[in-house]
Amino acid sequence: CAIVIIINNSLQEYGGDMAIGAYGIINRLLTLYVMIVLGLTMGMQPIVGYNFGAQKIDRVKQTLRLGIISGVVITSSGFVICEFFPHAVSALFTDSDELINLAVEGIRLAVLMFPFVGAQIVIGNFFQSIGKAKISIFLSLTRQLLYLLPCLLLFPQWWGLKGVWISMPVADTIATVVTAIVLVNQFRKFKHVPN
């Protein structure tokens, strides 16, 4: 909620009510794909948890791999639709040309790193499945709070409304790198677990 308040304040300052409306469209579109990935991870969690408990690490890795591939495919489909058909998807929410044009600009910038968001969500929930709740919470907070907040405070001052949109893929990029590092470290620990 705090992040949405900051986003809305930045949008109000640099783009007015129409920019807030454009963010509403973008947020609804991205949330649709994120919810699908969350459903996928809920189905993945008991499989990972059971096999991790049974120390069947190969099955854990295989389930994670399939989960990541599926998550990336889902968010990549969202990326493709938003990048190539932004007018069409924006027009589903409004008939205002001004609002559609603002949403189109925002969508194209906000989804630049969206294909990787699917992997981040799957990996974050994977850590919850293997009993590492602190790491899972950390990875969830990094994308929406730790990296996005500073970007939202800095970028709009430099680039105005475009800075608000750019802050989202920048935060996703940093979160992707951190998530990959954490996962690689976990895989190193798996090498010491007997199958």
The CB density around residue 125, as the number of other CB atoms within 10 Å, is 23
pLDDT tens, the chain, 195 aa long: 778 888 888 888 888 889 899 999 999 999 999 999 999 999 999 999 999 999 999 999 999 999 999 999 999 999 999 999 999 999 999 888 999 999 999 999 999 999 999 999 999 999 999 989 899 889 888 877 888 888 988 998 998 889 999 999 999 999 999 999 999 998 888 776 555
Between 97-110 and 161-190, two packed helices, what is the crossing angle to 10 degrees? 30
What the block records as the tokens of 91 is: 């027009």
d(CA 126, CA 74): 17
Q: What's the predicted TM-score (pTM) here?
A: 0.89
d(CA 57, CA 69): 18
Contacts of 31 (CB under 8 A, 6+ apart): none
